[in-house]
Amino acid sequence: MTRSTDTQRPTDRKHKALGLILGGLAVLLSMLVFLLPALERVYLGQLGKREAPTLTLAVEGLTGSLRRFEALPALIAERPDLAAALSNPSDRALIDRVNDELHRTAEEVGLSDIFLIDPTGLTVAASNHWKELSFVGQNFAYRPYFTLALAGEQGRFFALGTTSGERGYFFAEAVRDGADILGVLAVKFTVDAFEDAWRNGNNEILVLDDAGVIFMASRPDWHFRSLGPLSPEARAIIESTKKYPMDRLVPLQATEEPIDDGFRQVAITSEDGTLGRYVMQSQMIPEAGWEVSLLTPSDQAWTQAMGTVALTALCLLLVALIATVVIQRRVQLQERIRAALSMQEELEHRVTQRTAELEKANRLITQEVEERRAAETLLRQTQTELIQAGKLAALGQMAAALSHEFNQPLAAVKSFARNAGAYLDRGEPEKVRQNVGMIDDMVDRLAAISTHLRNFARRPGEKTEPVLLNRAIDTALVIVEPKMRGSGCRVNRDEIEGEIWVNGGQVRLQQVFVNLLSNAVDAMADQPDPVVDLSLEIIGTRVHVRVRDRGTGMTDAEIAQLFDPFFTTKEPGKGMGLGLSISYNIVRDFGGTLEGGNHPEGGAVFSVTLNLAEAPSLAAAE
Ligand code: ADP
């Protein structure tokens, strides 16, 4: 069975859908992998923004210190002792006093060094005069802060101390006497404390000077390094100002890549080969020409990006899995519906087929029933006619015997009448009465025969009613009596106790017994002592009447055809072969049965079975 639309099977659709899901999944997963770097950049940006306050804090710390120390040289330079010392460098006592003053001031304001330089660059007094590596006697003419201050400007400079070996920031101001510049006062503060503070966090902080050299860093191994190669000019200046040790100016192995919002991604390989990946953000301190950078390790951004991708991939897989399960379920359902539909169609088809067959069979049955009904009607009609014909035939057969029967009593009546007349003449009234009485008996007998004949000739009614079985048998015996007497036949009859009522019709029932008795007599025509046994037996609601003779019995072939109309073994003119057939139908009309067969001890036996009936309150006469 095919369906006109939707010819695609659910399993095909399932494979298609699963293919789509797998394809979509593959595309989405590869897109995720492709998006991974972008996602990482987003997380790097977020990380940078989160850490931005740390940079601001570092910058503010540095700017604060610069501002604080910036004004100090000018203030200290105004001290008269300094100008005096510059004017009299050989005044030992004065120089000592200045040395002490500078030492005390340095302690008070938290400067690492304060020192006084004469116009040739020679240091005449210093706060660290008492130290082994004292600035006193050192010449700093090569330092830019000195030359600037001597020119009347503010000198500022960051350098690695040539004497101390300590990195520091220098501020310098001219020491004046009126308009004359007598020398320079310089102060230096170290930056180690800042770096110590920076080391507390997770981030790295570094400060680049205008040449691009890292002069401050939370990691000491980055000191004097640069993120890229230095220009030859920058190197020359550094060399001339002895700013940094030239041998340490080696660029770091670093790669840089800008991200959004001013952030950069930096990868730095250390000397030991370990790779550090950072998100870098920078802020300028313009007055010093510094660039402060904060480097936040970016591993967590990578981890976050990976986590997000993994989670998304997992979600996608889950969605795909759910979709697959859903599709699987739907397909199963569709398969089931499809199977149910096809089964239903098959069933409908079968039902239609069966209905058509049944309709055909019904038509045939109806036709057959009509034919049978017609045949039955015909049979009934024929049977009724045959009953009548059978009766007439029986009457015909009996006509001779009857005429003999009638003639005999009539002759007797005549002779009794004649006798009566003679006795009357002789005056013997007793004898007359005797003869008249005998005439009366004879007439009664004639009347009885006449009544039976009239009943027999009458067409029977169709209805059944309670009839007296005893009477039917008695009447039948009376009818066949002449025939029996003719062949010297006796009847051996069971004594019937009380009345037995059965369902039937009086005349038809007696006709049955007349037939059976008559056949029995015929069967024993050649017997020397013909006897008919007539027995009765009541079993439950039925009564069995058996008529047995001592004749020759019947062959099997005869038994098979007994009740067929016109079956007879008798000579032509003696039998029509209708008696048993009619009797059979009569008994069947009464709801009873008629069976015939051979008696085990010889002869034939016919059994009439009838339904017992309630005795009517008033015996109905037919
Ligand atoms: P008919 O008496 O006119 O032949 P029936 O229908 O009464 O018609 O009987 C049919 C046949 O059944 C008889 O010709 C006879 O061969 C057989 N038949 C009937 N009754 C007996 C019997 N008591 N013994 C042997 N044969 C019988």
512 lines ligand 1 (CB under 6 A): no
597 lines ligand 1 (CB under 6 A): no
Domain boundary among 163, 190, 217: 190
Q: Which residues pair with 612 in a beta bridge?
A: 502
Report the residue among 568, 571, 576, 607 best suited for mutation to probe ligand 1: largest number of ligand atoms under 8 A from its CB: 568
Angle between helices 92-109 and 80-87 (to 10 degrees): 140
Q: Does residue 597 lie within any of the structural domains?
A: yes
What's the pLDDT score for residue 167? 86
Q: Which of 145-149, 383-387, 515-519 has the lowest mean pLDDT?
A: 383-387
Angle between helices 579-589 and 299-425 (to 10 degrees): 120
Q: What is the pLDDT of residues 536-550, one digit of tens each?
A: 999 999 999 999 999
* Domain span at 103: 71-190
Residue 492: phi and psi, rounded to 5, are: -100, 100
What's the pLDDT score for residue 620? 47
Q: Is pLDDT at 394 greater than 60 in this prediction?
A: no
What's the pLDDT score for residue 448? 65
Q: Does residue 514 lie within any of the structural domains?
A: yes
What's the pLDDT score for residue 68? 87
Atom of ligand 1 nearest to the CA of 563: 6
* Short-list 164, 155, 220, 225, CA closest to 190: 164
Q: Which of 371-385, 466-480, 603-617 has the lowest mean pLDDT?
A: 371-385
- Take atom 19 of ligand 1 and give the residue whose Cα is closest: 519
Q: Is pLDDT at 466 greater than 70 in this prediction?
A: yes
Residue 2 — very low, low, confident or very high, per pLDDT cuts 50/70/90? very low
Do 244 and 232 contact (CB within 8 A), yes or no? no
What's the pLDDT score for residue 190? 87
Q: What is the pLDDT of residues 264-313, one digit of tens each?
A: 989 999 888 888 999 999 999 988 888 999 999 988 888 888 888 889 88
Parallel, antiparallel, or unpaired for β 531-539 and 490-493?
A: parallel
CATH code assigned at 577: 3.30.565.10
605 lines ligand 1 (CB under 6 A): no
DSSP letter for 222, please: G
pLDDT cut 90: percent of the chain above it: 43
Q: Is pLDDT at 3 greater than 80 in this prediction?
A: no
What's the pLDDT score for residue 301? 82
515 lines ligand 1 (CB under 6 A): yes
* Short-list 214, 83, 217, 69, CA closest to 145: 69
- Take atom 7 of ligand 1 and give the residue whose Cα is closest: 579
Q: What is the pLDDT of residues 13-59, one digit of tens each?
A: 778 878 888 888 889 888 888 888 888 888 888 888 989 999 999 99
Q: Does residue 200 lie within any of the structural domains?
A: no
Residue with tokens 């100090």: 72
Q: Is pLDDT at 456 greater than 70 in this prediction?
A: no
Residue with tokens 């027999």: 456
What's the pLDDT score for residue 1? 44
* Short-list 399, 320, 387, CA closest to 26: 320
Q: Does residue 571 lie within any of the structural domains?
A: yes
89 lines ligand 1 (CB under 6 A): no
Count how many Cα atoms sit within 13 Å of the Cα of residue 519 in the half-sphere of its side chain. 26
- Tokens encoding 592: 């009873």
Could you tell me which residues come within 8 angstroms of residue 89 by beta carbon, excluding any fewer than 6 positions away? 95, 118, 124
Could you tell me which residues come within 8 angstroms of residue 423 by beta carbon, excluding any fewer than 6 positions away? 429, 431, 432, 435
pLDDT cut 70: percent of the chain above it: 92
The more confidently predicted of residues 197 and 12 is 197
What's the pLDDT score for residue 97? 94
Atom of ligand 1 nearest to the CA of 393: 3
The span from the CA of 67 to the CA of 72, in Å, is 9
**Overall average pLDDT of the 380-387 stretch:** 76
Do 104 and 128 contact (CB within 8 A), yes or no? no
Give the chain's domain count. 2
Do 610 and 586 contact (CB within 8 A), yes or no? no
558 lines ligand 1 (CB under 6 A): yes
Count how many Cα atoms sit within 13 Å of the Cα of residue 506 in the half-sphere of its side chain. 14
520 lines ligand 1 (CB under 6 A): yes
Q: What is the pLDDT of residues 101-121, one digit of tens each?
A: 999 999 998 898 999 999 999
Q: What is the pLDDT of residues 47-97, one digit of tens each?
A: 889 899 999 999 999 999 888 888 899 999 999 999 999 999 899 999 999
Count how many Cα atoms sit within 13 Å of the Cα of residue 374 in the half-sphere of its side chain. 5
Identity of the residue numbered 232: P
Q: Does residue 98 lie within any of the structural domains?
A: yes
Mean of all residue pLDDT scores within the chain: 86
Domain boundary among 172, 190, 208: 190
CATH code assigned at 108: 3.30.450.20
Q: Does residue 61 lie within any of the structural domains?
A: no
Q: Is pLDDT at 360 greater than 60 in this prediction?
A: yes
586 lines ligand 1 (CB under 6 A): no
**Overall average pLDDT of the 434-439 stretch:** 90
Residue 622 — very low, low, confident or very high, per pLDDT cuts 50/70/90? very low
The span from the CA of 370 to the CA of 366, in Å, is 6
Identity of the residue numbered 132: E
What's the pLDDT score for residue 502? 96
The span from the CA of 423 to the CA of 404, in Å, is 28
Parallel, antiparallel, or unpaired for β 290-297 and 275-285?
A: antiparallel
Domain boundary among 161, 190, 219: 190
Q: Which of 175-184, 232-241, 478-487, 562-571 has the lowest mean pLDDT?
A: 562-571
Parallel, antiparallel, or unpaired for β 501-504 and 490-493?
A: unpaired
Residue with tokens 């025509």: 525
* Short-list 312, 255, 391, 363, CA closest to 36: 312
CB atoms within 10 A of CB 143: 23
- Tokens encoding 247: 């041998």
Q: Does residue 295 lie within any of the structural domains?
A: no
Angle between helices 469-487 and 299-425 (to 10 degrees): 50
Q: Is pLDDT at 618 greater than 70 in this prediction?
A: no
What's the pLDDT score for residue 469? 94
Q: Is pLDDT at 162 greater than 60 in this prediction?
A: yes
What's the pLDDT score for residue 270? 85
Atom of ligand 1 nearest to the CA of 515: 7
- Tokens encoding 442: 């004879």
576 lines ligand 1 (CB under 6 A): yes
Q: Does residue 137 lie within any of the structural domains?
A: yes
CB atoms within 10 A of CB 210: 12
